[in-house]
Amino acid sequence: MNDSPGWATPGSSPSDSGQGAEGADGTRPPAGPAQPTGDPKWSAEQPPPGQWSSPGAPQAPDAAPAPTTPPASAQPRQQPAGSEAAGWGSYGDQRSAQQGSQYAGQYGYPGGPGGSGAHWGKPAAAKPGVIPLRPLGVGEVLDGAVATMRGHWRSVLPITLVVATVVQVFSLITQKYALSEFTIDSQPTTMDDALETVSGTLLASSADLFIQLVGSIIATAMLTMIFSRAVLGNASSIGSAWRDARPQLPRLLGLTLILMVGAILLIGVLVLPGVLLGSFGLGFLGIFAALGLVVWLWTALSLSSPALMLEKSTVAKALARSWKLVRGSWWRVFGITALTQLITAFLSGIIVFPLTALGLALFGGDMDALADGTGQAGWGFLILNAIGIVIALTVTMPMQSGVTVLLYVDQRIRREALDLELARAAGLENYGTAAGTTAPPATPGG
């Protein structure tokens, strides 16, 4: 049975009803010439092979005459050897949420069970929104995120601009009036003064981090709703995105805190033995093992945020859903996520570095001020640096959120045939069925 809950769950499938591509007794209709007469399982008269036979397959002498051969452009594409699917256009009737591996092989995407895709490629697919309704390549995931930013900028950019501005204003005030007051003097000081300085710095930094966390959660929640609608070609307003995201915000906050606290505890547990024993080698080994485990777990649970928002589930169910969707595709999800981080980091550097250098040149003072850090405490430098960070976050935040949402959709398409439900939601009633062998023409996204 299909256990995919919540948002855009695939509809009833052959495996749910007990019958699909196979008959009620578990047998499959013939995939070639008609069965010999006298077989009690089949009628003496069989229709022509039609789409069940591979194009160009020879027919038995006693089979019914085949219909007139259509033009080459209208003929169905021949199946790759070894595929169990009946035809390229009828896969929707013959797979369920449990047949994702066959679906991946049928499409023959690189690395899939069906082959490298070098000979068969990807079939035509409808594109009601920013992505085609089929398994996506790396470029299509990235392009879908950029296309949503470009086509729905009136909703996307104001959200990230407001959030980034509020966060940076609070961060600027914290750096100017709080962190600058808690500096450790180079002159000898008492233990009480050092502890007061460290505790004050941690308190101010924690408040700054909390504001950034809340801002990123609000932006991520609203952007998730906008990207999910963009997949279907539907526009979203800021108000509608907020109304859809608001009920799940407390759970998303809890999910984010669980992931952060879990990562900190994991690092602490593995590094602490080396610290207590004073062993540099053991401490280094603990750090190395902790970072590897954190990256592995973080990738395995990276789709929990869109699962929580779009399926309206609990925190525990969202974590379990992400674990299930990423399982078997860890390296792919990790690679796309890491590539996205590299791209956004490069863009951020291009935007922030010139403004930071300009702030140092204009307001950094002399070399002594740069050396002791007082040059970075002036209003001019802080404001220019904050402007650069605001611009960078406005551009990169939606790209990161969009890639995560599209990875979630892509994994559900590969494993649960979500494209069929998305096509029905977009108004393509016969998409992927025997009646709709040819995919409808793509429409512009957004």
Q: Which amino acid is at 21?
A: A
Share of the chain above pLDDT 70, in %: 60
Q: What are phi and psi of 112, to 5 degrees?
A: -80, 165
Beta carbons of 408 and 307 less than 8 angstroms apart: yes
Residues with Cβ < 8 Å from 335, sequence gap 6 or more? 138
pLDDT at 444 over 70: no
Q: Which of 39-43, 115-119, 154-158 has the highest mean pLDDT?
A: 154-158
Q: What are phi and psi of 115, to 5 degrees?
A: 125, 180
Average pLDDT over residues 72-91: 34
Q: Could you tell me the end-to-end alpha-carbon distance of the chain, in angstroms, rounded to an integer?
A: 34
Rounded CA-CA distance 428/72 in Å is 25
Q: Helix count (H) and strand count (E) of the chain?
A: 14, 0
Average pLDDT over residues 83-108: 35
Reported residue count of the chain is 446
- pLDDT score at 154: 94
pLDDT at 420 over 80: yes
- pLDDT score at 206: 73
Own/partner long-range contacts of 387-392 (Cβ < 8 Å, ≥24 apart): 387/355, 388/351, 388/352, 388/353, 388/354, 388/355, 388/356, 389/164, 389/168, 389/352, 390/161, 390/164, 390/165, 390/168, 391/351, 392/347, 392/348, 392/351, 392/352
Rounded CA-CA distance 129/335 in Å is 24
Beta carbons of 375 and 381 less than 8 angstroms apart: yes
Rounded CA-CA distance 231/145 in Å is 10
- pLDDT score at 116: 35
Rounded CA-CA distance 261/114 in Å is 41
In sequence order, what are the beta bridge partners of 112?
115
Kindly report the pTM of this predicted structure.
0.69
Mean pLDDT estimate for the chain: 73
The SS3 of residue 415 is: helix
- pLDDT score at 368: 59
Rounded CA-CA distance 196/303 in Å is 40
- pLDDT score at 357: 87
- The tokens for 135 are 């398994």
Question: Scanning the structure block, which residue is given the tokens 């033995």?
Answer: 273
pLDDT at 348 over 70: yes
Q: Which amino acid is at 110?
A: P
The CA-atom distances, in angstroms, between 266 and each of 195, 213, 275 are: 26, 20, 15
- pLDDT score at 97: 39
pLDDT digits (tens, 9 = 90+) for 202-219: 666 777 788 888 899 999
Rounded CA-CA distance 158/168 in Å is 15
Q: Which of 8-12, 82-86, 397-401 has the highest mean pLDDT?
A: 397-401
pLDDT at 419 over 80: yes
Rounded CA-CA distance 431/435 in Å is 8
